[in-house]
Structure 1
Amino acid sequence: MTQHHPARPGGQVLIDQLSAHGVETVYGVPGESYLAALDALHDAPVHMVVCRHEGGAAYMAEAHGKLTGRPGVCFTTRGPGATNALVALHTAYQDATPMVLFIGLVPRGHTDRASFQELDLRGTFGASAKLVETIDDAARIPEYVARAFAVATSGRPGPVVLGLPEDMLTDVVRVADATPLPVPGGGVTPAELAHMEGLLTTAERPLLFLGGGRWTPDARTAVRDWAEAWSLPVAVDFRCQDLIDNESEVYVGPLGYGRDDALARRVREADLLLAVGTAPGDVATDGFTLLPTDGTGPRLVQVLPEPQPPGALYPAELTLLAAPEAFADAVRTRRPGTPLPWAVRTKQDRAAHLAFRTPVPEGDPLDLATVFATLDDRLPADAVVTFGAGNHAIWAQRFLTYHDGTRQLAPRNGSMGYGIPAAVAAAIHDPDRRVVSVAGDGCFLMNGQELATAVAENAKPLIIVLNNAQYGTIRQHQEQAYPGRVSGTGLGNPDFAAYARAFGAHGETVTVTDEFGPALQRSLDSGKAALIELKVTDGRLAPGVTVDSLRKESCHV
């Protein structure tokens, strides 16, 4: 009975629910709309990371969700504070990341009166969240929070938004704390397993495709062992390179932007596609062109933690309702009973991938292939690698090795400004782990101010900024479509190393290849957050791509 529980203000009830759900860290920017919650955090075991912009704070929460598999938590105030966080909410929604965003709101009596910083919560966030609710009764806070955490982690994970009216948080109530709700993982029946193995034994050119969320270390290991036992070539979805040890003999590369043409041909030639954790989408299939949409493509086995949407572009012959852990449990001891006709082809696919990911020096004064080979040699196996969106990420995707313990935190929705907050969050969560963020000059300055948060929290990420003084990805598209007509893509940049030092971080500038190794060593030895600015050779846009090469191509079209 609630009368036996101590009287608490709503803000205290809220923070107590976070503790009950195992939350140790939250990210946010303070606001007067949730002062009661801030007061409750004062004496709570929950640590608040105070950020410099709500976009950075929400990205940190999203990255926390990616890294841990548990909802990352962010607090913002109403109106502009809340809408600043929308970009990260979109990232979490498209990337299937568990996240809970708490938004302080105007008092309940001020709603629908065009009050200061009032906003329509559902109208603003409904298209980018799994659930949007407002808690009007402090006695129901435990109920709402338990539901939010369950929805954020169940099925296909994603973000949940909870509105907190300012006066609700000061109401004093007697209510029991909530018990976290169970999150079902689904499962694979013996009949379904037999059906899948029947499809496998009749295939000649199968391909295993991994992606999505809800992957645990055990699930990664078990699925890798199963794939190796069956000599199944394994491709991963865009920015999911940490789902399998890249040194595995069956790993054949990532699909998506910057992928190898040989892997694209392999997808076209597959006669059986086993998609675990994700469905084949537009990025992985080059705009739905690698797989035919008329029913003549490979047979599809689809393994998802929730039913495939109605009218899916690629209907599955077999659909398994299972999270990766449940699928791993089903296949971990299964071994083939007959020779595998595709084993030789898997070795060929693997060799093609190794050739593609081997850095080839291109002769630039600052040769980025050599730089990233050096970085790859220096990263420990459990490093966390983060980046945002842009051509700079291609070097990190192609030339860094993601081992069993490595984590890749990157936005699959192509959101710029993500890499720095993600690195800060990862370095706060695992202070003894090496965290490296690879940023473009445009991407970095969208949330570079969060270096202040890193220094304040004594977090020590290493940030590598590729400075080519332009929005390189757009410049590449521009040169392909309108060669020589540069418009709207140039950037005027600061001295990035000096910028880092201004925050109290270590700063280095590298202009030629031989300078990188010593600069890297000094940065790693600095004992604090560090930034290395790479002055990219003029005209370099991507591996194998320069402004001159694009213009020469356009002359031959």
Structure 2
Amino acid sequence: MTTSTDSRITVGELAARFLEACGVRAAFGVISIHNMPILDAFHRRGEVRFVSARGEAGACNMADAYARVTGGLGVCVTSTGTGCGNAAGAMVEAMTAGTPLLHLTGQIESPYLDRDLGYIHEHPAQLAMLQAVGKAAFRIRNAETALATLREAVRLAFTAPCGPVSIEIPIDIQKQLLPLPADLHPLELAPVRPGASALNGLAERLRGARRPLLWLGGGARGARAAVERFLKMGWGVVTSVQGRGIVPEDHPANLGSYNLQPPAEALYQSCDAMLVVGSRLRSNETLSYKLKLPRALYRIDANALAHNRGYASDYFVQGDASDTLHALADLLEGRMQVDPELVGDVQRARAEAAGTLEAALGPYATLKNEIGRQLGTSIWWVRDITLSNSMWGNRAPVLDHPRAGVHALGGGIGQGLAMGIGTAIADAVHGLGRRTVVLAGDGGFMLNVGELACAVQERADLLVILMNDSQYGVIRNIQDDIYGGRHCYVDLHNPDFEPFCASLGVQHLSLRDPADTRDVLARAATLRGPVVVEVDMKRWGPFAAKFAGPILKKD
């Protein structure tokens, strides 16, 4: 670490020191003339590893994934104008996923701002654009207010519902000197604690429940210990896709994310209470809000606006998931008589749903199962939006960690590779000890394929399972289902991935036959650095069932 003997530092160095105080170990972005004071401070100080992405969209996806697996602050640094705009789509994804992320971007020199001069690199409405794709956006107008702005931005990023916050810093302000502040720590953010009367009211309604279920969403990822107390009382658990792994998915009381299959819906109808914790009950996981949930539906959420969204809440408590569940368990332990048959019914519903999924996969069931056998459960499971993800990746393999699942919650393709890099970097700098595995389709992979060069340069330890069918498979199925089989704009021209990977120094393994799956994945498990296992779907053949977009339920 290099320290300055001068008591005055630039605003760029202030930003770097503040991020260090926030516990940030890695940041992601693209260097430009409009962010060099910040990145030069990263370089000189040597405390924050800066990952040079090939594009701002990828950088923001990397920062998003870093935050998801660490539970800390993700940081993306971009240029002004076009460079900043490139990150907008990834900012929308971070907003959708509720990721605490700080986006630092540049701006042209202050004297020329907002004057409609056509000044090079200026985006006159940049701040408005950033406000539209995140929780908030600020401009630092002088050195004296820089630290206050940084602190407030991070506070907002971590305030429920969490999300990305941008700060625009004109390049002349980044270079300004100011005295080194005595205290650079972020503002303390206390969890939202429920009131005693609200908790008592919820406990009173739940004490008589004989067949209660917890529905856990991403907002409950820090509540495993509290959830385990409910499991000991005999409760069952089902999760959203974002809540996978809060309870290990091989736990007998865990339905997993088989949350909208017919066996799950039948189970719900046998239950007399469901407590939804930290979940928005999203459309694609509730049959567009037509999934029949237990009639007594209660909610816990740190966001007060979650009350009655999508589904009416019979009772709502605002509070942090972990604190509120612990306090609720204090009021319920020893006071409930849960049906001892409930856990067995959960197991049967899961087995039936998983069996239906397995039957729909055809030859790809081998791939699903061997990923679990050869790579184990100690993985970060990163999924791009692709046919295989929709068919099985969102629900298998078994996850045992509340942050093990990372995917594009907003449904945009092409973000998985970058998210895998951010995940692998997070694992490396924080010593988390898990292998990053990315499930991607060829269409999404090619969208941001340049980030594969970033993965090599950064020595990111990730394994990509590349499902190559040379088409947009889901769109083709929709065309079959709705558009009379008229196939247009879905066929894709791809490179020969083996020499392509070789040209970048990426290890490539071909998987042309389901019979070779065990051997190929066992070999891949021994390799380190970026590895691509290409599954030739043309040779493997089709799935046994077609997936043609989110399942809809008829009235």
TM-score, normalised to structure 1's length?
Answer: 0.89
Q: State the distance in 2 between where 1:110 and 1:542 align.
A: 58
Q: Is the 8 A contact 2:68 2:403 kept in 1?
A: no
The range that moved more, 307-316 or 82-91, is: 307-316
SS in structure 2 opposite 1:484? coil
Structure 1 position 310, deviation (Å): 7.3
Structure 1 position 417, deviation (Å): 1.5
Deviation digits for residues 502-529 of structure 1, max 9, x if unmatched? 2111101111112222222222223321
Q: Is the 8 A contact 1:207 1:235 kept in 2?
A: yes
Q: Does 1:238 align with 2:241?
A: yes
Structure 1 position 170, deviation (Å): 1.0
Deviation digits for residues 484-515 of structure 1, max 9, x if unmatched? 21112111222223322221111011111122
Q: Which of 154, 164, 171 is the matching residue for 1:166?
A: 171
Distance 1:59 1:509, change over 3 A: same
Q: Is the 8 A contact 1:253 1:263 kept in 2?
A: no
Structure 2 counterpart of 1:103: 105
Which amino acid counterpart does residue 389 of structure 1 have in structure 2? I
Q: Is the 8 A contact 1:383 1:405 kept in 2?
A: no
Q: Is the 8 A contact 2:221 2:243 kept in 1?
A: no
What are the equivalent positions in structure 2 for 1:365-384 lying under 5 Å apart?
367-384=363-380
Q: Which of 205, 212, 216 is the matching residue for 1:206?
A: 212
Structure 2 counterpart of 1:335: 333
Structure 1 counterpart of 2:66: 64
Deviation digits for residues 353-381 of structure 1, max 9, x if unmatched? 123325747796xx210112111112233
Q: Is the 8 A contact 1:421 1:447 kept in 2?
A: yes
Structure 1 position 280, deviation (Å): 2.3
Structure 1 counterpart of 2:316: 319
Structure 2 counterpart of 1:303: 300
Deviation digits for residues 512-549 of structure 1, max 9, x if unmatched? 112222222222223321000001146956563389xx
Q: Which of 221, 226, 231 is the matching residue for 1:222?
A: 226
Structure 1 position 448, deviation (Å): 2.3
What are the equivalent positions in structure 2 for 1:474-553 lying under 5 Å apart?
474-537=475-538, 542=543, 544-545=545-546
Q: State the distance in 2 between where 1:363 and 1:305 align.
A: 38
Which amino acid counterpart does residue 192 of structure 2 have in structure 1? G
Which amino acid counterpart does residue 345 of structure 2 have in structure 1? Q
Distance 1:10 1:210, change over 3 A: same
Structure 2 counterpart of 1:355: 352
TM-score, normalised to structure 2's length?
Answer: 0.90
Q: Which of 146, 151, 157 is the matching residue for 2:151?
A: 146
Structure 1 position 145, deviation (Å): 0.9
Q: Is the 8 A contact 1:121 1:132 kept in 2?
A: no
Structure 1 counterpart of 2:553: none
Which amino acid counterpart does residue 385 of structure 2 have in structure 1? A
Residue ranges of structure 1 left out of the alignment (5+ in a row)? 551-557
Structure 1 counterpart of 2:552: none
Structure 1 position 309, deviation (Å): 5.1
SS in structure 2 opposite 1:545? coil
SS in structure 2 opposite 1:32? coil
Deviation digits for residues 99-154 of structure 1, max 9, x if unmatched? 01111111112222232232223321222211110111122211111111111112
Q: Is the 8 A contact 1:97 1:213 kept in 2?
A: no
Q: Is the 8 A contact 2:208 2:337 kept in 1?
A: no
What are the equivalent positions in structure 2 for 1:36-51 lying under 5 Å apart?
36-44=37-45, 45-51=47-53
Q: Is the 8 A contact 1:360 1:370 kept in 2?
A: no
Structure 1 counterpart of 2:119: 115
Which amino acid counterpart does residue 380 of structure 2 have in structure 1? V
Structure 1 position 311, deviation (Å): 6.8
Distance 1:214 1:362, change over 3 A: closer
The range that moved more, 170-179 or 450-459, is: 170-179
Which amino acid counterpart does residue 384 of structure 1 have in structure 2? W
Deviation digits for residues 233-286 of structure 1, max 9, x if unmatched? 211113431222101111113157xx5222234446654321111232322221
Q: Which of 127, 137, 142 is the matching residue for 1:132?
A: 137
SS in structure 1 opposite 2:450? helix
The range that moved more, 90-99 or 299-308, is: 299-308
Q: Is the 8 A contact 2:382 2:420 kept in 1?
A: yes
Which amino acid counterpart does residue 394 of structure 2 have in structure 1? Q
Q: State the distance in 2 between where 1:406 and 1:275 align.
A: 19
Q: Is the 8 A contact 1:139 1:175 kept in 2?
A: no
Aligned pairs, how many? 533
Structure 1 counterpart of 2:193: 187
Deviation digits for residues 266-323 of structure 1, max 9, x if unmatched? 446654321111232322221121259xxxx723321111212577443423222212
Q: Is the 8 A contact 1:75 1:103 kept in 2?
A: yes
Identity of aligned residues (%): 24
Q: State the distance in 2 between where 1:543 and 1:390 align.
A: 17
Which amino acid counterpart does residue 241 of structure 1 have in structure 2? R
Q: State the distance in 2 between where 1:425 and 1:482 align.
A: 38
Which amino acid counterpart does residue 392 of structure 1 have in structure 2? S
Q: Is the 8 A contact 2:234 2:342 kept in 1?
A: no
Instruction: Let me know the Cα RMSD of the aligned residues.
Output: 2.5
Q: State the distance in 2 between where 1:406 and 1:42 align.
A: 30
Which amino acid counterpart does residue 229 of structure 2 have in structure 1? W
Q: State the distance in 1 between where 2:157 and 2:542 align.
A: 38
Q: Is the 8 A contact 1:420 1:437 kept in 2?
A: yes
Q: Which of 89, 106, 115 is the matching residue for 1:87?
A: 89
Q: State the distance in 1 between where 2:302 and 2:544 align.
A: 36
Q: Is the 8 A contact 2:130 2:137 kept in 1?
A: yes
Q: Is the 8 A contact 2:416 2:445 kept in 1?
A: yes
Structure 1 position 193, deviation (Å): 3.2
Q: Is the 8 A contact 1:523 1:530 kept in 2?
A: yes
Q: State the distance in 2 between where 1:300 and 1:336 align.
A: 22
Which amino acid counterpart does residue 50 of structure 1 have in structure 2? S
Which amino acid counterpart does residue 373 of structure 1 have in structure 2? N
Structure 1 counterpart of 2:448: 447
Q: Is the 8 A contact 2:237 2:253 kept in 1?
A: yes
Q: State the distance in 2 between where 1:101 and 1:278 align.
A: 25
Distance 1:309 1:320, change over 3 A: closer
Which amino acid counterpart does residue 131 of structure 1 have in structure 2? A
Structure 1 position 452, deviation (Å): 1.3
Which amino acid counterpart does residue 232 of structure 2 have in structure 1? A
Which amino acid counterpart does residue 371 of structure 1 have in structure 2? L
Q: Does 1:248 align with 2:248?
A: no
